[in-house]
Amino acid sequence: MEQRVSLVTLVVGDLTASRRFYVDGLAWSPLFEEAGEVLMFQVGERLILSLWDRVHATAEIGPVQTTGTPPVTIAHNVGSRAEVDAALDDARAAGAPTVTEAADREWGGYSGYFVDPDGFRWEVAWAPGPVNELVVP
């Protein structure tokens, strides 16, 4: 199998609230939308982030975790420390229920976190070195 990720799907409890957060709040542009079922964004050259309504998702994949912190984080890397702070400000303005201020990290970078309406943790990071060179446009 080829080493590649094509689509990341987050199962959400309220697709309308998720749309408000990502489209209205963060100003992301949907690639595809089926009202009440799924909302997709192109987030990389060959990568899609899909927000899938929980009722429709569980019909296909079975029960999903609905309490506690989901055991996954998503990273949004940027080119500078100032861009980290600006992205966290954007998330706060979009209505993120939790925003953790950025801090210097033991691994040599600078990052903070915000939480989307369904509790998914997004890391906003500046990571000097080869990883950032690979992932930041």
Q: Report the pLDDT value the prediction gives residue 66, as an integer from 0 to 100.
A: 82
Q: Report the pLDDT value the prediction gives residue 136, as an integer from 0 to 100.
A: 92
Could you give the angle at the alpha carbon of 71 between the alpha carbons of 129 and 106, nearest 5°? 30
Q: Taking the chain, what is the end-to-end CA distance rounded to the nearest angstrom? A: 26
Give the residue ranges of the chain where pLDDT is below 70: none
For 112: left if phi > 0, alpha if psi spans -120 to 50, otherwise beta; the answer is beta
- Hey, which CATH number is domain 1-63, 2.102.10.10, 3.10.105.10, 3.10.180.10, 3.20.20.370? 3.10.180.10
Segment 42-66, tens digit of pLDDT = 999 999 999 999 999 999 999 988 8
Q: Report the pLDDT value the prediction gives residue 65, as an integer from 0 to 100.
A: 82
**Phi, psi for residue 45 in degrees, rounded to 5:** -55, -40
Q: Report the pLDDT value the prediction gives residue 102, as an integer from 0 to 100.
A: 97
Q: Report the pLDDT value the prediction gives residue 81, as an integer from 0 to 100.
A: 97
Q: Report the pLDDT value the prediction gives residue 59, as an integer from 0 to 100.
A: 92
CATH 3.10.180.10 domain position(s) in the chain: 1-63, 73-137
| Total Cβ atoms within 10 A of residue 13 | 14
CATH of domain 73-137: 3.10.180.10
